[in-house]
Amino acid sequence: MPGAEPPPPWADGFSAFQVDGDFSGSFHARIHPPALLRHSPRTMAQSGMTDTRALAARALAEVALAGASLREVSARAMPALADSRDRALLMALLSEGARWWLRFDAALDRLLTQPLRRREPAVHALLVLGLVQLDVLRLDAYAAVAATVEAVRALGRPHLAGLVNAVLRRWQREGDGLRAALDAVPATRHAHPAWLVEALVRDWPDAAERVLAADNAEPPLMLRVNRRRANRAAFIERLRMDGWTAEPHAWLADAVKLPHSTDVTRLPGFAEGLFAVQDGAAQVAADLLAVRDGERVLDACAAPGGKACHVLERADVALVALEADAVRARRIDQNLARLGLTAAVVVGDAGAPQDWWDGRPFDRILIDAPCSATGVLRRRPDVRLHRRASDLPALVATQRRILDALWPLLAPGGRLVYATCAVLRAENEGVVAPFLAAHADARARPFDLPTGQAAAVGWQILPGDDDLDGMYYAVLDKVP
């Protein structure tokens, strides 16, 4: 929990968005602010960092109070900052502000006699960021408070500077008791919405606490070596020679693990297409598909193309990458080009194949279904702010529609892999089990993995299992 452990080691610079893989454009990992953030308020002001806090507060208010995407808001804010140190601070504040919003928002209910969310959303967000600096980033308290108070003036609300100072000073005086009160409730202890905590306890009673903690832990940076262009051992050696800490994943043949996130464009071999960014749990998909040369493969809901590219790196297949969003489909083209791969990228609705299918059956189909993304909260912290329990029925209906629509496209004897990055049973075996009951020509193929646990149908990797993201997989064979 915040404030309970010694500070983590600072990493240099800032973490870029993913440029490849299955979460392109989202925050890839916990951001480590550089050591300069411990400088004095004077140094911070000289570097422009006070304005950075104000910029972060406005952006975070959009994300937490207006439903904006963290990726989109941060991308708009970043060009305003020329100094890499300011960008590092902005990324740290936005990432951790979104991650811990639900905890510190609740804390402010105890610290403020009148809420500011509606009247002064940016100042409310700045207060959250002040608590983040003290408890999560664990910056020098005097410097952090002074710079945050200055940021109130940069927001054009100088009359509230005294209030901000008083609230942060009160947290410093009474923090132990306030933390204890927040920790007494699982939702505020782990900064998760109450509905999700209840769902995790219901679906995974023995693992819920572990999953909640994993959602707030720093994930590693996972790379996938492009075996068409590189050898994993040689690539790791190249990383190490350039000063990077890297190791092969124990059971994923193409995976390389780095302990901390970084701007991946700085890694050797990026421009050459030697690797892509993809969490190990997502790399399991290619193993389960087990494609062979000459086969015809459909990757439904394919953007940004991480799994499609992995399949193409494995075998010479004719692959159709289907994506409903034309803008996201362009990301598939970009990733294919960088990695030196070829596929037919089609814009279309996976649930309406009559609009795009040419009538030729597929030997393999991958459905990476739209889902709640509850398995990837450590990489996409704003999901916990935006997802609602009321979203689930529509998601499940979409998942069932896609599975029903694509099954007829699979050739007899073919294989379909159904996947989500969700941990809620309703989206996983809750979709697959009724499908199997309704289709006599569908058989669930049993399998197991070195980590995770068997579900009623298929296999569930929970967040943090072997330091992976949460993913669900089911493998269905079509009876000839």
Catalytic residues: 421
306 is in an annotated binding site: yes
- Amino acid making up residue 82: A
SS3 366: strand
> Which tokens go with 124?
């409310």
For residue 211, give the H/E element and its range: helix 208-215
The three-point CA angle 173-175-180 to 5° equals 145
- Amino acid making up residue 89: L
466 is in an annotated binding site: no
DSSP structure class, residue 336: H
> Which tokens go with 109?
């209910």
Burial of 253 (0-12, 13-18, 19+ CB in 10 A): middle
**Nearest alpha carbon to residue 195 among 370, 383, 387, 376:** 387
Burial 11-29 (b: 16+ CB within 10 A, else e): bebbbbbbbbbbbbbbbbb
Phi/psi of residue 87, each to 5°? -65, -40
CA 15 from chain centre, in angstroms, equals 13
323 is in an annotated binding site: yes
Q: What share of the chain is helix, strand, coil (3-state, %, to 5)?
A: 50, 15, 35
DSSP 241-310: HTT---EE-SS-TTEEEESS---GGGSTTTTTT-EEE--HHHHHHHHHH---TT-EEEEES-TT-HHHHH
Question: Which residue has tokens 């499908």?
Answer: 435
**Nearest alpha carbon to residue 192 among 466, 424, 32:** 424
368 is in an annotated binding site: yes
For residue 413, give the H/E element and its range: strand 410-420
> Which tokens go with 97?
């502000």
- Characterize the bridge pairing of strands 318-323 and 275-277: unpaired
> Which tokens go with 37?
């953030």
302 is in an annotated binding site: yes
452 is in an annotated binding site: no
Which positions make up the binding site for S-adenosyl-L-methionine?
301-307, 323, 349, 368
Binding region: 301-307, 323, 349, 368
